């Protein structure tokens, strides 16, 4: 799920905590994509994919929300992407010095996210795009990774420049609590091993700023690095036991970049190995903040995730 979530990413199979997470039950239809976008931009005046202004001082940028500006490089066709949708996109992201910090194009495949799992700048900057459209999005630090950044690729206080191509989008649907749901009280269990599923789990380790983790299963192979692209299964709950997102319910894992999801994922997933399963307890400040992500995630919500790294 993700600020994976997917993305929310928020949020997940998409991932996008998230690569940012996605509501269990009847979550959005899964979307398929195909390809696109390469561009170089930055404060030095280099260009977007169509040769147009790629810098932050582009006079044609429009403010869609405080700290988020955009310009449509190419207008797509069809139904506009709604807020909170599950999207399939190609994208490249730069710092203002022109350095690329992430690109789905370089990985050779588009990425599917649920918008609620992603950083705020994407949540606010992508809705309204149509399939086939390409958009330049300039995101201020407070709508991206803030003063902390996302080391090692994104320094603290960074303004980010993205070129995003929307391949497909589908409205997401809320998930109701049910099979696999858990609450924060004693006796509730994690789905994978039936261990303590609450926020009061004594086995949790605080890794900073209230973000807590516990490995339910150790994986094997190379550990996930900060900012990496990962394929993962996940389920996310609020502390009252309601499932708000689950890749398992969609029947497929989600591919997402740790540079595009909420901070709880970008900081809590690195170090996991393929096959590993980790419980994450994410405070609101590293998730969706005081605004939440209505209707699934209330403002100020602490989130509980079970994340499995597929590869």
Catalytic residue among 39, 70, 162, 305: 162
Would you state the structure tokens that stand for residue 105, as one six-digit string? Answer: 């194009």
Catalytic residue among 31, 119, 167, 269: 119
Q: Is residue 302 within 8 Å of residue 200, measured between CB atoms?
A: no
Catalytic residue among 39, 70, 113, 145: 145
Please give the Cα distance from 291 to 110 (Å, whole number).
29
Please give the Cα distance from 35 to 89 (Å, whole number).
8
Does residue 72 carry a catalytic annotation? Answer: no
Does residue 145 carry a catalytic annotation? Answer: yes
Helix (H) or strand (E) segment spanning residue 69: strand 68-74
Q: Is residue 244 within 8 Å of residue 237, measured between CB atoms?
A: yes
Please give the Cα distance from 155 to 303 (Å, whole number).
26
Would you state the structure tokens that stand for residue 78, as one six-digit string? Answer: 């069809």
Q: Is residue 234 within 8 Å of residue 256, measured between CB atoms?
A: no
Does residue 102 carry a catalytic annotation? Answer: yes
Catalytic residue among 13, 17, 31, 102: 102
Catalytic residue among 70, 91, 244, 288: 91
Please give the Cα distance from 303 to 286 (Å, whole number).
10
The Cβ of residue 299 has, within 10 Å, a number of other Cβ atoms equal to 12
Would you state the structure tokens that stand for residue 115, as one six-digit string? Answer: 């918008």
The Cβ of residue 310 has, within 10 Å, a number of other Cβ atoms equal to 16
Which residue has 């190995």 as its token pair? Answer: 273
CA dihedral defined by 143, 109, 20, 249, rounded to 10 degrees? 150
Q: Is residue 304 within 8 Å of residue 281, measured between CB atoms?
A: yes
Catalytic residue among 101, 113, 256, 288: 101
Would you state the structure tokens that stand for residue 20, as one six-digit string? Answer: 């940012």
Query: Which residues are designated catalytic?
Result: 91, 101-102, 119, 145, 162
């Amino acid at each position: 799920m993700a600020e994976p979530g997917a993305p929310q990413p928020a949020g997940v199979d998409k991932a996008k905590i998230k690569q940012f997470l996605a509501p269990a039950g009847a979550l959005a239809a899964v979307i398929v994509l195909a390809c696109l976008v390469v561009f170089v931009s930055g404060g030095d005046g280099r260009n977007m994919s169509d040769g147009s202004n790629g810098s932050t001082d582009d006079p044609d940028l429009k403010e869609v929300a405080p700290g988020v500006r955009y310009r449509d490089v190419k207008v797509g066709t069809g139904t506009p992407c709604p807020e909170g949708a599950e999207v399939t996109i190609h994208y490249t992201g730069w710092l203002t010095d022109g350095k690329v910090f992430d690109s789905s194009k370089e990985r050779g495949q588009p990425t599917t996210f649920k918008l609620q799992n992603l950083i705020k700048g994407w949540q606010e900057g992508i809705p309204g795009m149509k399939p086939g459209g390409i958009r330049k999005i300039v995101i201020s630090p407070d709508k991206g990774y803030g003063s902390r950044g996302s080391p090692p690729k994104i320094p603290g206080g960074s303004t980010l420049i993205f070129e995003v191509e929307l391949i497909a989008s589908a409205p997401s649907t809320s998930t109701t609590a049910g099979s696999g749901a858990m609450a924060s009280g004693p006796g509730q269990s994690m789905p994978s091993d039936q261990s303590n599923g609450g926020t009061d789990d004594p086995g949790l380790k605080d890794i900073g700023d209230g973000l807590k983790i516990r490995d339910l299963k150790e994986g094997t192979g190379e550990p996930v690095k900060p900012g990496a692209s990962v394929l993962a299964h996940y389920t996310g709950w609020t502390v009252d036991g309601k499932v708000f997102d689950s890749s398992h319910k969609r029947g497929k894992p989600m591919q997402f970049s740790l540079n595009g999801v909420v901070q709880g994922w970008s900081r809590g997933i690195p170090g996991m190995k393929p096959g590993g399963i980790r419980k994450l307890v994410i405070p609101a400040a590293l998730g969706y903040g005081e605004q939440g992500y209505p209707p699934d995630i209330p403002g100020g919500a602490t989130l509980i995730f079970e994340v499995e790294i597929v590869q």
